[in-house]
Chains A and B, each alone.
Chain A
């Protein structure tokens, strides 16, 4: 059974008042007790003094009466004595101790109690009993005449009335004290409330307002600590307000362009949705992405890239209405929100205007720059009913526009979503492909062009999808690169290739090398170190590995790429520049980075030997490679004429369907075994008419 504890929370005022109350009560109570104690002591002394005065008087006047046997007079004396306040008894005893005269106040509670207890009025016994009463003061005085003791006078003084008076005084003082303490506490509390609690409550209220984003100043009414606190609070609140404004701006606006950022854009879209729902109107979103913005950054520098972004934002703003919103979503992505769009035609016109405006040449840092953009267009509510859906669809449409060619604007269609969903499905499937063993390595042999002998093989990746069948690398590798899955996949490929080479090598079948494609994403992740670990694990000599790197790798951070390439070179592996001739600045890369091999793209080989431009280009590449002391591999060799031409022009290595199709590891193992049986040089095992089962390297 759970017992709930009631927690009484006391406010500052209550705590302070209780503290003051306790201190006051303790102090004043102690003072009162001491006062009463001292007073009681004083009155007790007075009582004794009174008793002594009476005793001395009686002892002075009694001898005559005793000598004259005037006991009635003695009685008068004792009666008179006993009539005095606080006297319980007055007794004159003979020298033998027998009472000569006695008067005892039988109304006294002690006397009455004794009489009731003993049932006797015997004076001597009663006196003995009373002597033990702490409330009684017993005083004794000798009655002497001419140095002869005639008797003794005993007087009993009761402290009862004294104590009763003390109690009464104590009660009165306690009542007065209580009243005084209560009054003082009330006064102190009121003063405390006025001078402390109210300012604190004002501060609390102001703090809560600040918490709600309402910045209110607290009136500073004094120069004391609370006044200083109020001043400090005001200063803090002002600083918080500034910081909040700054944070709000940082959170909602792009620092570079000053345009609303993604967060603000989403807010504006939501507002537009609400308004559009109320007014049954439509609005359009334009998702703008600058084409090849990275090239501008790389070639002209980031400062120019930033200038371009700022200028683009200003240009777009300039052609829009005040009610429209231009936001920078990040990178080179912009979003334009145009309310009250009547139809798609109006949206299309706006998109065209945006494309035209952005595409106009401009001079940035003294350089003439022409920017292109791709625009995805969505219309509320046709293409989505939430901000997230509209944004996603616009983004999707923008990608479609970008895929369809630079400088275009495309309306979102449901078909795009279908493709997107397929892509997402593939992405999910690819996630499980490694675990489910759906990925497999294939090997396409590479031959010495002149001697026609087998030298090695390019490692190719195949995905055996359980529903879609074999999926080519051209279909899933870009997806894997986009999602980052390529890192794990690439690592698996690398390890599997090392393992297989090591296995074949130990079997005496080993090809001279295996050429492995390295993705630019993979290349960023400390690739050289990982390669070194695998080579150590599988005892792979450096010459046994050839890493094929596309020009896209070289587009990344030059410094990092150079460091990584140098590390690979230090390991001793062969570096091959893949798809040579299809990139942007191949020659500058060759100059900047040192490669061992160039791979001529199949697109140049396919026109050989009939297309003069391909012939010239391939001859030029071969001549350049020879001049740079680079080996050349021509891929996609599918005819004898191509092989003859390349061989004649001094191409070092060839690969293609003419020579050998890609084969799985079992088939390639058997191929290697057959080579051992036949011994080099080998006959071509071309399957010239075999259907292409995958993309050769």
Chain B
């Protein structure tokens, strides 16, 4: 009896103490999460593609998720460095660069594949059969120097063949498909890009891919990562990961994937990006990559 009376008399105090402990967490849950998307596409397209995901996350997490993007990679990288995003979707190189602040929780699955190798393409009629033959030639890369599959991985292949940056002339197309197209249009002697490029519909529609072949390719590299702040509570991180990974399990999720032009989002962890890290370090050393 007395024990029950003691517990009854103590309950209000327990609740008060509990609420004092939970109150900051509840207050934090009410603050919106910022989901940053790297400017691979135009801002309007980005908004169109990822707003459904933001909405779904808001709904599932019970917390507002705000979609944010940048007008260019530079400002996006600055925002990443400043930790403005709670959730961030960017390329592998950017992830490696920001991995002290962010931790990967998932990766994109594109074209039904989780990973793709970086490759060097040449025209079949070019007579080039070895990477070393690219010495003194023009190589066009898709995207900039921070493009994992289109620059870093091909550069890694070139370095493995003993070719440093000064051993060939570099050109940069606005995106990876254009690098292959430019190769086909004889604007360069080789092109760097993911080995999936040659199968892209946009490329196949533009050039005759039968005229192109892969000269060399790297190991398969996981696709673009989804990361969250390392400071994010584990439950929230897990909740976000769970929502993303389970997207293809519901009608609403599939709609989100379709809108984001991806076939799925799969669970990932830091060590999955070790190959990327090795290649980046090999290409750029410990320093920042030249812009």
Contacts and interface: CB of A to CB of B under 8 A. Distances in A.
Interface residues of A, number: 12
Interface string B148-186: 000000000000000000000001111101110110011
B173 A68 contact: yes
A72 B174 CA distance: 10
Contacts of B206: 71-72, 75
Interface in A99-156: 99-100
A73 interface: yes
B119 interface: no
A68 B174 contact: yes
Contacts of A98: 185-186
Nearest to B141: A69
Interface string A57-87: 0000000010011111101000000000000
18 contacts: A65-B174, A68-B172, A69-B171, A69-B172, A69-B178, A69-B179, A69-B182, A70-B174, A71-B173, A71-B178, A71-B181, A71-B206, A72-B175, A72-B178, A73-B178, A75-B206, A94-B185, A100-B185
A65 B140 CA distance: 15
A99 B185 contact: yes
A99 B174 CA distance: 19
B187 interface: yes
A514 B202 CA distance: 151
A71 B205 CA distance: 12
Nearest to A121: B208
B100 to A, nearest CB: 33
- Give the size range of B's interface with the partner: 10 to 19
Contact of B177 (A65, A72, A94): A72
Contacts of A65: 174
Contacts of A71: 173, 178, 181-182, 185, 206
Interface in B41-85: none
A99 B207 CA distance: 12
A94 B187 CA distance: 9
Contacts of A68: 172-174, 178
Interface in A588-631: none
A71 B202 CA distance: 11
Contacts, number: 42
Contacts of A73: 174, 178
Given A70-B178, A71-B206, A100-B187, 17 more contacts: A68-B173, A68-B174, A69-B171, A69-B173, A69-B178, A69-B187, A70-B174, A71-B178, A71-B182, A71-B185, A72-B181, A72-B206, A73-B174, A73-B178, A75-B206, A94-B185, A94-B187
Nearest to A96: B186
Interface in A658-692: none
Contacts of B179: 69
9 shortest interchain CB distances as A-B pairs: A69-B173, A71-B181, A68-B174, A70-B174, A69-B182, A69-B178, A71-B178, A70-B178, A72-B178
A72 B172 CA distance: 14
Nearest to A65: B174
Contacts of B175: 70, 72
A65 B173 CA distance: 9
Contacts of A70: 173-175, 178
A73 B182 CA distance: 12
A72 B205 CA distance: 10
Nearest to B180: A71
A98 B140 CA distance: 18
A30 B140 CA distance: 63
Nearest to A68: B174
Contacts of A94: 185, 187
A71 B184 CA distance: 10
A98 B174 CA distance: 21
Contacts of B172: 68-69
A135 B224 CA distance: 52
Interface string B115-141: 000000000000000000000000010
Interface string A403-431: 00000000000000000000000000000
Interface string A32-70: 000000000000000000000000000000000100111
Nearest to B208: A121
B198 to A, nearest CB: 14
A122 to B, nearest CB: 12
A68 B175 CA distance: 9
A75 B177 CA distance: 12
Nearest to B173: A69
Nearest to B142: A69
B202 A72 contact: yes
A202 to B, nearest CB: 84
A284 B140 CA distance: 144
Nearest to B177: A72
Interface string B179-202: 101100111000000000000001
A68 B174 CA distance: 5
Interface in A295-354: none
The interface centre, meaning the residue of A68, A73, A98, A99 with most chain B CB atoms within 10 A of its CB, is A68
Contacts of A100: 185, 187
Interface string B201-230: 010001000000000000000000000000
A687 B56 CA distance: 184
Nearest to B188: A69
Nearest to B182: A69
A70 B206 CA distance: 12
A65 B202 CA distance: 16
Contacts of A99: 185
Contacts of B174: 65, 68-70, 73
Nearest to B203: A72
A126 to B, nearest CB: 15
A509 B51 CA distance: 172
A172 to B, nearest CB: 41
Contacts of B177: 72
A75 B187 CA distance: 15
A100 B182 CA distance: 8
